[in-house]
Amino acid sequence: MTRERLHPWSRDVWELARRQHGVVARRQLLEFGLGEEAIEHRIDIGRLHLLWRGVYAVGRPEIGKQGRLMAAVLAGGSTALVSHGSAGWLWGMGPWTREIHIVVLNDVMRRYSGITAHRRYDLGPSDRREVAGIPVTDPVSTLVDVACNLSEARLAKAIREADRLELVDPERLRARLDEIPRRPGIGRLRRLLDSDTFTLTDSDLERRFLRLVAGADLPLPKTQVWLNGYRVDFYWPDLELVVETDGLWYHRTPSQQKMDRLRDQAHTAAGLTQLRFTAAQVRFEPRKTLATLKAVIARLQSLR
């Protein structure tokens, strides 16, 4: 039987399944007017495939990762949201986790294999977002939730990813931590953001450069800030000094090299002093790199 010949509510079910990444809940089917016998018939003939109690894949049993997250939310009930590491993956802040995590608002939920449900009593509208139509905890709540289980390095990476994706920057994240009710993860996030060692960098090369600066007792720069329409690696505002760390130059395309020149010209026109260090200089010539940086910083300090 083709879809065109299906009952009108069947077309509605197909459309709902499309929006929900291939899954539907039994309660949704009942709302569309399907009776218990009609649902069981579709299970018997292979149009509905049971995922968890009361949640089905439509058409075929195989679903993607987003479908699994949507199915877990449907299994959790009307208040459920994807959370913890699962939310981190959905936002793009972390890797996929085999165990799916959700939070529910003071609801009693059945135990399902492959789903870990966390009960929260303070879920409000500000905690709820949607990504690709999937209910999920907001970026700040997600970072608080994963803070309990991630290493410091992986948590710092998640914060940097949230900033890179423009979900929340470290300053707004730190301010929000003082506004939301106490719960596990907040203290660890505060300590990391308040520590002298936390910096917002995009690569191991940049972290290596920062360690050189810190080890030489030089003033620490701001990292990943916007200046003159460009995002720069390191910036000393008191000295008006910009430093960029580059990977292997010959791996850069002509368009990337052109963009670097335009970036340098914009900073020079604004009166900034700028330096560029290659990966080889930072990694294999750290003393020479530091000597150059110290000389420039000393000169700028003397001028001010």
Concatenate the DSSP letters of all residues of 42-107 into one string: HHHTTSEEEEETTEEEESSS---HHHHHHHHHHHH-TT-EE-HHHHHHHHTSS---SSEEEEEES-
Query: Three-state DSSP class for 205?
Result: helix
Residue 167 and residue 83 share a domain: yes
Query: For residues 183 and 192, what is the distance between their CA atoms, to the nearest angstrom?
Result: 16
CA distances from 93 to 86, 132, 258, 302 (A): 10, 15, 30, 43
**Does residue 199 lie in a domain region?**
no
pLDDT by residue for the chain (304 residues), tens only, comes to 344 444 556 778 888 889 999 999 999 999 888 888 988 988 999 889 999 999 999 988 899 999 999 999 999 988 899 999 999 999 999 999 889 999 998 666 678 889 999 988 777 888 899 999 999 999 999 999 999 889 888 998 899 889 888 898 887 888 889 888 888 889 999 888 887 667 665 666 788 888 889 888 899 999 988 999 999 999 999 999 999 987 644 345 677 778 888 888 999 999 999 999 987 788 778 999 999 999 999 999 998 7
Q: Report pLDDT for 255.
A: 73
Let me know if residue 109 belongs to a domain. Answer: yes
Q: What is the pLDDT of residue 137?
A: 96
The CA distance from 188 to 215, in Å, is: 25
Q: Please tell me the predicted confidence (pLDDT) of residue 200.
A: 60
**Could you tell me if residue 277 is inside a domain?**
yes
**Which phi-psi region, left, alpha or beta, contains residue 92 (left: φ > 0; alpha: ψ -120 to 50)?**
left
Same domain, 131 and 237: no
Number of compact structural domains in the chain: 3
Q: What CATH number corresponds to the domain at position 57?
A: 1.10.10
User: Looking at the domain assignment, is residue 83 inside a domain?
Assistant: yes
Q: Are residues 51 and 118 in the same domain?
A: no
Final residue before a domain boundary, out of 42, 62, 82: 62
Query: Same domain, yes or no, for 88 and 184?
Result: yes
80 shares its domain with 182: yes
Residue 233 counted as domain residue: yes
| 213 and 189 within one domain | no
Q: Whole-angstrom Cα distance, residue 48 to residue 39?
A: 8
Containing structural domain, residue 275: 204-303
Out of 194, 219, 239, a domain closes at: 194
Kindly state whether residues 169 and 283 are assigned to the same domain: no
CA–CA distance, 17 with 51 (Å, rounded to integer): 14
Residues 89 and 137 in one domain: yes
The answer to whether residue 290 is domain-embedded is yes
| 171 and 78 share one domain | yes
CATH of the domain at 232: 3.40.960.10
Q: Would 18 be classed as within a structural domain?
A: yes
Is residue 32 domain-resident? yes
Residue where a domain terminates, one of 194, 215, 231:
194
**Do 266 and 245 lie in a common domain?**
yes
Q: Are 241 and 266 in the same domain?
A: yes
Do 30 and 71 belong to one domain? no
Token pair for 96 = 């996929």
